[in-house]
Structure 1
Amino acid sequence: MVHYFKNVEKYFREYKKVRKYAHWKPRRKPLVLIYSELGKRFEELVGELLGEIKIPFTKYQSSVKGCKPDFIVNQSHWMDAKLSEHTVFNSETIQKYEPHIDKLTIIYLRKTSQLEYRRMVTPKTELVHISQYMESLEPERHSYYDGQLKEIEEKTIKYLR
């Protein structure tokens, strides 16, 4: 619903249910929606960063039914952005994408293990912390991304409690 209408109120207006549900107001935003918004924000920031460091990509246009990777470097290399290091293991991303490509790169924000910041998790899938892409940036741009990423990470952690 949020994908198509942006919020519940717009959905009610679109389908002329405002009067019937006039009393309905969400007490607070559901966690899944909060994480979805933070994930989208992180994905946009990753796209901005990839553009800045001159990694060409297209978005969502895989031409493979059911596969919409966040970033397509080429037909054999896809990238996906995840809020946390472990998120990819709780999703179907690897199983869904690997049969169609040679390389999958998962760019993540929150480090949740003691393992390396960049590592292979399957023969085709590499897990890479966002900081690995920021190494070549000028100090002021590095600082900009640090601030943006820190804000997203703090909000993500806040809602974990």
Structure 2
Amino acid sequence: MSDEVPITDDREPAGVVTAMIDHVLGLAVTWTEWDGRPLPAGERLYTPHKAIRRVTDHLIDHLAELEARLAGDRTIPDRWHASASTTPVDLAPFTDQDLDEATSRLTRLGRIWTARLNALTPDQLDHSPGEGWTFRQIAFHLAGSDYYADAVGNLSAVGSGR
């Protein structure tokens, strides 16, 4: 993930966010085949649970930012441990029940993002209140959350590790 100003284009911001979620869930359906070994990506390790946690946390963090800025409030800095840490829960097997819960959680977050972004005017998307990236830029930044899922990859080949 990068802190560089996100590049935007003419796609609808809500569609950008939901396409990322669809991509993540498309990979996640293969993660019940995970062999339990963390997968390296750069200097970090990823697992199915960690990828879902990071995508979810990222969506929540920026949603909280967007809502605070719209309300004229200060944003609360996140205190996530992010991808620098791999917790014991991250190392648990990724089961069909975990996939069901991840699907429910991310689908709901996608609907919340869609409702919120579609309620904003083009001016609000491109000239957002408060400090930070515009709301359009935030949506395009969120598209990069697929990095976490891509770090785990498609595990449809049992025991492939990737």
Report the structure, 1 or 2, having the larger helix content. Answer: 2
TM-score (norm: length of structure 1): 0.34
TM-score by length of 2: 0.34
Higher RCO (CA 8 Å, separation ≥ 6 residues): 2
